[in-house]
Amino acid sequence: MLVDVGGDIDGDCFFRGVSHQLYGNAISRSIIRAAGIQFLTGNPEIFIESNSEYPWTQYLTSISCKGTWADGIIIQEVAEMQALKYI
Q: Is the pTM of this model over 0.85?
A: no
In a domain, 39, yes or no: yes
pLDDT band at 84, cuts 50/70/90? low
Alpha-carbon span 72 to 9, nearest angstrom = 19
Query: Count of domains in the chain?
Result: 1
The predicted pLDDT at position 86 comes to 58
Statement: residue 87 has pLDDT above 60: no
The predicted pLDDT at position 14 comes to 92
In this predicted model, which residue has the larger pLDDT, 6 or 45? 45
The residue segments making up the domain with residue 64 are: 18-81
In a domain, 35, yes or no: yes
| Residues, the chain | 87
Picking from 3, 17, 13, 27, the residue whose alpha carbon sits closest to that of residue 67 is: 13
pLDDT band at 8, cuts 50/70/90? low
Q: Tell me the pLDDT tens digit for each residue of 10-65.
A: 788 899 999 998 999 988 888 999 999 999 999 898 888 887 788 999 999 999 99
In a domain, 86, yes or no: no
In a domain, 6, yes or no: no
